[in-house]
Amino acid sequence: MLKQYENELKSLLPNSLIKVDEPLKNYTYTHTGGNADFYITVYTHEDAKNTLIFCKENDIPVTILGNGSNLIIRDGGIRGVVLNTLELKEITREGNTVYAGSGARIIDVSRFARDHSLSGLEFACGIPGSVGGAVYMNAGAYGGEIKDVLVEIIAVTPEGEIITVGKDDLHLGYRKSVVQENDYLVLQAIFELEESNQENIQSVMDELTHLRESKQPLELPSCGSVFQRPPGHFAGKLIQDSNLQGHRIGGVEVSKKHAGFMVNVDNGTGSDYEALIAHVQDVVFDKFGVKLEREVRIIGEK
């Protein structure tokens, strides 16, 4: 069955890179994840659309992967197709409007904007996600979020229809967007920025980079903040005050540098991450009565 799909996919998508039984730990920031039946890197909107249509017609599940910086993929991997967007990476501008392919790294879009003296994306200069992942999550940092600068997106519906969705219809909230509910595949995001002075932009970026480097364990694999900010609290502080920093399950431990992060210190697996997350949630709930909700997404088979 897989062989038959492989041949059909290869003739349907001549411009895409198709790998079979591909280890996903190579593509995630946590370095975890079993294999994908099919790992398809698309280079065109047409191939992205045709992949979704083919999968729909053949009842094959599709998982979209951006830069893998907000995902824990379980050790059993992912059945069906994993569609990677990272080659949809073109960034262009017209006046103050920036058009970014969903696979462009939001860090690169932030730098592109700086190079063109456009302000508004400085907050994103250290977020390691793709544009598609950043829209999906309404990523944000240091007081800024995607919602502040996004105008609209071009996306494909699971049925293969290419649509434009304006910001208001995306219902962007704290780490939320309609993209999550509707299973859209984001192809491109359009941002409206403001003309500014390149030196000012750079100095904001320098300051934020310094803050990030001094507080976050960027030298080790992680998925960034594991938990959302609970109303009225900081997840990191609750975890720290529960004496959980350095607590390790398998090869994954609560970072000693930033309690909101869990770092893969010794060949940790998806199940190590899941077990540590559950443990931290239990301990914090017992001690403070606060339920920590995950920000990171856990997908795939055990």
Ligand X SMILES: Cc1cc2nc3c(=O)[nH]c(=O)nc-3n(C[C@H](O)[C@H](O)[C@H](O)COP(=O)(O)OP(=O)(O)OC[C@H]3O[C@@H](n4cnc5c(N)ncnc54)[C@H](O)[C@@H]3O)c2cc1C
Residues taking part in catalysis: 175, 225, 295
CB of 269 to ligand X, least distance (A): 17
For the chain, first and last CA: distance in Å? Answer: 22
Scanning 6-14, 52-60, 65-73, 242-250 for contacts with ligand X by CB under 6 A, the matching segment is 65-73
Taking residues 10 to 29 in sequence order and writing x for each that binds ligand X by CB under 6 A, - otherwise, the string is -------------------x
CB of 156 to ligand X, least distance (A): 9
Query: Is 33 one of the binding residues for ligand X (CB under 6 A)?
Result: no
CB 224 within 8 Å of CB 189: no
Question: Could you say which of 37, 51, 52, 66 contacts ligand X (CB under 6 A)?
Answer: 66
Question: Could you say which of 34, 128, 236, 270 contacts ligand X (CB under 6 A)?
Answer: 128
Cα separations (Å) of 282 from 72, 290, 293?
A: 19, 9, 12
Beta carbon nearer to ligand X, 290 or 298? 298
Beta pairing class for 144-145 and 248-249: unpaired
CB of 170 to ligand X, least distance (A): 12
173 burial type by CB count under 10 A (0-12 exposed, 13-18 middle, 19+ buried): exposed
- Say which DSSP state 209 is in: H
Scanning 190-198, 221-229, 244-252, 280-288 for contacts with ligand X by CB under 6 A, the matching segment is 221-229
Taking residues 232 to 271 in sequence order and writing x for each that binds ligand X by CB under 6 A, - otherwise, the string is ----------------------------------------
168 burial type by CB count under 10 A (0-12 exposed, 13-18 middle, 19+ buried): exposed
CB of 229 to ligand X, least distance (A): 11
CB 5 within 8 Å of CB 58: yes
Query: Is 298 one of the binding residues for ligand X (CB under 6 A)?
Result: no
Which residues make Cβ contacts (< 8 Å) with residue 81, sequence separation at least 6?
9, 36, 37, 38, 39, 40, 51, 55, 60, 61, 62, 63
Query: Is 140 one of the binding residues for ligand X (CB under 6 A)?
Result: yes
Residues 140, 148: Cα–Cα separation, whole Å: 10
Query: Is 102 one of the binding residues for ligand X (CB under 6 A)?
Result: yes
Which two three-digit tokens encode residue 137? 């999550």
Residues 51, 54: Cα–Cα separation, whole Å: 5
Beta carbon nearer to ligand X, 176 or 285? 176
Query: Is 130 one of the binding residues for ligand X (CB under 6 A)?
Result: yes
Query: Is 71 one of the binding residues for ligand X (CB under 6 A)?
Result: yes
Scanning 52-60, 139-147, 160-168, 282-290 for contacts with ligand X by CB under 6 A, the matching segment is 139-147
Scanning 31-39, 136-144, 198-206, 235-243 for contacts with ligand X by CB under 6 A, the matching segment is 136-144
Query: Is 78 one of the binding residues for ligand X (CB under 6 A)?
Result: no
| Phi-psi domain of 123 (left: phi exceeds 0; alpha: psi -120 through 50; beta: other) | alpha
Query: Is 129 one of the binding residues for ligand X (CB under 6 A)?
Result: yes
Question: Could you say which of 218, 220, 275, 290 contacts ligand X (CB under 6 A)?
Answer: 218
